[in-house]
Amino acid sequence: EKGTYPHYMLKEIDEQPLVMRKIIQKYQDDQGKLSMDPAIVDAVNAADRLYIVACGTSYHAGLVGKQFIEKWAKKPVEVHVASEFSYNMPILSEKPLFIFISQSGETADSRAVLVQIKELGYQALTITNVPGSTLSREANHTLLLHAGPEIAVASTKAYTAQLGVLAILAAVTAEARGIDLSFDIVKEMGIVANAMEVLCDQKEEMEYIAREYLSTTRNCFFIGRSVDYYVGLEGALKLKEISYIQAEGFAGGELKHGTIALIENGTPVIALATQEHVNLSIRGNVKEVAARGANPCIIALKGLEEEDDRFVLPAVHEELTPLASVIPLQLISYYAALHRGCDVDKPRNLAKSVTVE
């Protein structure tokens, strides 16, 4: 039940700190160390390449998960949109492991790929919020999100839960192969949960940003580099699906290859600046769009902020920033939809589970 909340989406956004703490707890052993079913750790470590298959928000989580797994566990990962997989089936490695990410566990496009790869004799792991769901039952292994039911069509807490579980999967499999992470993942995820709480308390500021940038606009761009690009894709999807504003996420460096032609006087450009190694470049991209009349809204990580930034995220470990930086984007979308009189929890033309291919 949504209780005193006006919408499920807002309630589910607010549940994110709790869900993150629950995930940490669920994947800890008696000594407080992260752990999971050894059969899953073995399956990942026995594979020579991981193939993540998903749709929509879950696909965006997969893009971030690829970074965790490749950087920490040193395992190559490909991420595929489920509906395209069978037309563009990649040349598979010798020992592939498929990872299906699906909040509902019922998405037909993802299931079609699962059926196909099982016929080929390959193993699958499903990361889902719904125990006993089709994708969970039909895969060899399951990792649960422990996010509680997600009712709003726009996925919020499932996305951050997917990132949390993927981070734990990367950390645990790295450890099992003797790779040292150089930071304390449990501690850093705890810091993320605290940062999420701080962000959820800044709703007024987000409502203000939504009003300022999005109340009358026809379109909006999200830009970022590296992992911020992936979070920008998710921010754009969220805004599109509930506010009906045309929104696109772009890699900062790709803008000048065409998209910059769309920038007009006043076009909102939401830029994420959470990564030190690309901070100068993304700020260069903001200057490029601002010079063409855009209305930039920079969201920066504490420590990287500059004078004109619109919002500063609390400090979290640089590789875990997507877990925090997506929250302002979720809230901005929520308020933009609200201001524009849209049905936040049940956007037009959409269903919670997409059970047709």
Residues forming the site for ligand M6R (CB under 6 A): 55-58, 102-104, 107, 110, 153-155, 237, 241, 353-354
Give residue 74's region: left, alpha or beta (phi > 0; psi -120 to 50).
Answer: left
Backbone dihedral angles phi then psi of residue 123, each to the nearest 5 degrees = -90, 150
Q: Under DSSP, is residue 287 helix (H, G, I), strand (E, B) or coil?
A: helix
- Determine the residue with CB nearest ligand M6R: 56
Q: How far is the CB of 18 from ligand M6R (least distance, A)?
A: 20
Q: How far is the CB of 356 from ligand M6R (least distance, A)?
A: 11
Backbone dihedral angles phi then psi of residue 106, each to the nearest 5 degrees = -125, 5
* Closer residue to ligand M6R in complex, CB, 136/267: 136
Beta pairing partners, 77:
50
* Closer residue to ligand M6R in complex, CB, 278/327: 327
Q: How far is the CB of 341 from ligand M6R (least distance, A)?
A: 20
* Closer residue to ligand M6R in complex, CB, 58/279: 58
* Closer residue to ligand M6R in complex, CB, 47/53: 53
Angle formed at CA 105 by CA 110 and CA 176, multiple of 5 degrees: 90
- DSSP string computed for 318-344: GGGHHHHHHHHHHHHHHHHHHHTT--S
Catalytic residue numbers read 352
Q: Under DSSP, is residue 60 helix (H, G, I), strand (E, B) or coil?
A: helix
Q: How far is the CB of 155 from ligand M6R (least distance, A)?
A: 4
Q: Are 5 and 103 in contact (CB under 8 A)?
A: no
Q: Cβ–Cβ contacts within 10 Å for residue 115, how many? A: 9
Q: How far is the CB of 5 from ligand M6R (least distance, A)?
A: 18
* Closer residue to ligand M6R in complex, CB, 57/226: 57
Tokens 């999807």 found at: 237
User: Measured on CA atoms in the order 299, 300, 301, 306, is the torsion positive or negative?
Assistant: negative
Q: Are 213 and 268 in contact (CB under 8 A)?
A: yes
